[in-house]
Structure formats: C-alpha cells, structure tokens
Amino acid sequence: MGWESSFVSEFERLQVSSNPHLRGRQLEDLLERLFQSAHFRVQRDAGAAHPRQTDLVVGYDDTWYVVEAKWEKGPVGVDTFDGVRARMERAVPGSIGVIISVAGFTDTVLPQVVEFRGRQPVLLIGERELLQVFHAPESLANLLKKKRDELIVHGRAHLDKNTTRTAERRPVNDLPAASLTLLGGDLEPLPYITAKDGFAELVFVHELPDVDWVIAGGNGVTVDLPVRRLDENGLVDLVHTLNAMGWTTAEPSWSIRQATTAWHGTGAREFVNALTGRKKRYDGLEKAHHTEHVTYFDTCAGGGFYTLTADVSSDPSRIVLRCNISFHLVGIPVDMAPLRHLFERYDAMATGFFRPLTGRAVTRRHLEDHEPLEAIGYLVSCDGIPSISWASRSEGTTEGAEISEKWVTGIVARNPYYRPERGTTPEGWPAAAESSEFIICALRSHHPLGEKHECYSLISWELARTSDAQVFRLVADW
C-alpha cells in the first residue's frame, strides 16, 4: 500500500472514532508522517514556542511553518487563530502559521487572517484540501506556497471549498486576435471549418517549429503539465493564463471534435468563442457523443511549441474530464520561472519533469507525384503592404495595379485520402487524418487573394507527436 492509500484509509478510520481526544492525537501523528513524506523537516512539540506547546514546526527550503491541527465538533474560531499567533511570536522568526481544521472555520476567522497577513501570516487548510494532500502528499509544499502568495500578495485567505476549478469568464478581447482569416469558397469569413470527421488527437497547423533545428547536438526535451479539476470556464482561464505568460501567439491552431464532426480553426479568441458556443456548433448535429475532444496548438519563445488537449463533457455542466499541456522545447530552459509559475498555479510541481526526445522531433515526407487538391476555402493574412498583381508585373507596368493587401497563405481542401481503401495512402500518412473530410494546408508560395488559382497540389507534409496529440502541417503549391 502506498503512502497516499495509507493516509486516506487512516483518515477514514479516524472519522468513525468515538474518542475525540484520541482522534486528535492520532491526527497529529498522521500529519507528522504526511509532512515527512512530503519532504518537510518536522519537529514535534518543538521548543521554539516554549512555554506554549504547538503540534508541529515544519520546514521546507528556507521557510518554517508553525502547524496547529484541530478536529472539533464545530468550526475553528478566532481563539485558535490568536493562539497560533501567540505561538508564532516565540517560534522561528519569520515563520508562518498553519491551522488545519477538519470541521472548517467560522466566518470571523477569515477577516482576521487578512488583517494580520503582513505581521503574522496564517494559512488555513480545511477537510477537502486535507483529503487532497492525503491523496497526493507531493502537492503539500505547493499548496502552502499558493496559499501564502494568495494571502500576502492578493490579501485573500485561500480556502478551497470546491473540487472544480471555476473562474469568472474573462473578456475574450483580452486574447490576441488571429492573424489569419478563414474564408469559404465564396470568400466570406468563417469562424471555423466544419468537416465530417471523428475522434482523433490531430490538429492541422500553419507553422511547425522543429526543436532539433539548433546548432547544438542532441535532442529536444518534452515536459507535460496535467491540469485537474476544470470546467469550461477553467479551461478558458487556462488559455488566458498561457496568454498572460507570453505563450499565446496570433496563429494558434485548434480542433474540437465530436463523434462524427470536427470544427477546425485558428486564433485564441476564435477558439474560446467556438468552445463556449457549443449550442451553435451543435445546430444540425444528428447525434452528439457525451464528450467532445479539444486539441489546441501554439508556439512558444525559443523555437518550441505545445499542445493542449482536453475532454469536455457535452452536457451543460461542461466538466473537463482530462486536460494536459505537452511542451516540446529545444532544451531545458536556463530561466525556469515561467514554467515553474505555470506548474505551481496548477498544483503540478511534484509531477513535472523533463524527458529527452529519443528521435527526430519532426518527420517530413515529400510526394514525388504531387497530389491534386480541390480548394474549398482559404487562409488569408494581411501583411499591411499593398501588393502588385502578378499579371501587371509580367506586363511591365504597375500603374493602377495595386490590389488588396490580403494574401492567401493556406487553403482548405478536400482530403484526397478521405477514408481510403487499404494501401492507397502514401507512406507516412497518419491514420488519424484518413477520417477527415477536409485538410488544411499551408501554401509554399503565397499569392494575393485577388488572384485565385484553380489548381493546387499537395507536395509535402511535416508531422510531430506530443504525448497525446499529432501536429500535422501539410504544404501545398499552385
């Protein structure tokens, strides 16, 4: 039996104990072992608070905590809070108080915690959070750090009363707008491309960084961040968090998939609008599976990229059943602060580790015989520079030849390998792409929107695999 199973089972046994005094003492024993298993230095009945007695004094890094555990019939009140402050006066200078109360806290305690946060910070842990750290002792240090930051920096007494991360919906305009616009065959803007498809952890992208494309030898690295206890608002908040940390560009790509339909698009704002606009997306959908799958891709500074994947319930609760961010980086960063901040925010410090990629990060294939494509949509970029028509250039005149500054940088085409018979796909073509009615391709040679070309051909593709997604960049030409 692992530490976590032992802690949970012992706590459950204590819950049915008929001896309150013995139960309180056994809780102290349990907490002592919990802190030890979480790599804290533990002092029981430490002399630092003499002549008063305290349950535990524990240290992690260069921070000391004075811990008081209570399991009483009713919530802990101000008297216990004042007692902990008195112990802190005699304890280690600069120490932080921690009150663990299985029965919770009265409403009068929280204002006191905020009032004394500058002189004597005291952190509160209730039964729900205690159970969470019993299940995952490695998260204890990060929980205390998060509570300390919330109290000292933001003036809030952090006390988790809900197992699901919820957040107020932030304005979508806080996210960068897409630099690419999706147009249909009639050149009308589209919020996304709707295609016949199925569940597949694959996303079409416009650019795919190669983390091996550096001077130094060796391979890139990958690190995964599993995010727990989200709902739809929490997932949107995660995108905002990535944006606030500088990890959202103007050209992210994404797909949202149901059992028979997929929606593909570009842009962080557009992703949030599509995700939260479930009712509009489902209009006309014959049958909806109980879960839809999300894959979101973006690049990050230093030449790397990440995928965010999630399974979101299709019912109104919009609970996120699974969520993971998988980074591909050129190496372990010298400045770990951005990643550390992200992992701390989502209680994943103990589960984060880098692993070297064992092979090439990106595989490439070229078609000897280019595959003809039927374009049914376009990806258009505005570069801000007036363009001259190719026809006018060939005629040697530019007078009056300025046209739209919009350039076609990619196309949406019918998939030439849609549900093929066995053996008809080229070598290296991912099976996950066979179920897609349409494909999205980057153009090797861009052209002005006003000079559409009738014939396009698929010439090559690039493929990268993260822990739970395939990133597919197709290249076409005209």
DSSP 15-45: HT-S-HHHHHHHHHHHHHHHHHHTT-EEEET
What pLDDT is recorded for position 161?
A: 58
Three-state secondary structure call for residue 354: strand
- Omega of the bond prior to 51 within 30 degrees of 0, cis? yes
Interior/surface letters 1-27, b for 16+ CB within 10 angstroms, e for the rest: eebbeebeebbeebeeeeeeeebbebb
Shortest CA distance to 267 belongs to which of 380, 194, 176? 176
Shortest CA distance to 336 belongs to which of 349, 321, 324? 349
The one-letter amino acid code at 319 reads: I
Nearest-10 crossing angle of helices 232-244, 337-345: 160
Please, which residues have CB within 8 angstroms of residue 296's CB and are 6 or more apart in sequence? 203, 239, 252, 253, 254, 271, 307, 308, 309
Three-state secondary structure call for residue 295: strand
**Dihedral (Cα; 158, 162, 165, 171), 10-degree rounding:** -80
Digit-coded pLDDT (tens) for 415-467: 999 987 656 889 889 999 999 999 999 999 999 988 878 899 999 999 999 99
400, two tokens: 């009056």
Shortest CA distance to 296 belongs to which of 312, 285, 282? 312
Task: Spell out the alpha helix ranges (H) of 169-263.
Answer: 232-244
Do 208 and 362 form a contact (C-beta atoms < 8 A)? Answer: yes
Residue spans of the chain under pLDDT 50 = 1, 48-53, 163, 384-398, 400-404
Do 451 and 416 form a contact (C-beta atoms < 8 A)? Answer: no
What pLDDT is recorded for position 132?
A: 85
Nearest-10 crossing angle of helices 140-154, 127-135: 140
What pLDDT is recorded for position 167?
A: 56
**Dihedral (Cα; 346, 351, 352, 353), 10-degree rounding:** 180
Task: State the DSSP code for 279.
Answer: H
Query: CA quadruple 239, 245, 250, 252: dihedral positive or negative?
Result: negative
Shortest CA distance to 308 belongs to which of 261, 342, 337? 342
Ordered by where they begin, the domains of the chain are 3-154 (3.40.1350.10), 172-177+198-356 (no CATH), 362-477 (no CATH)
User: How far lies 378's CA from each of 51, 80, 418, 451, in Å?
Assistant: 77, 66, 19, 12
Task: State the DSSP code for 199.
Answer: -
CA–CA dist 418, 439 (Å, integer): 9
Three-state secondary structure call for residue 124: strand
Digit-coded pLDDT (tens) for 323-361: 999 999 999 888 888 888 888 888 777 778 899 998 889
CA–CA dist 91, 49 (Å, integer): 5
Whether pTM > 0.85 for this model: the answer is no
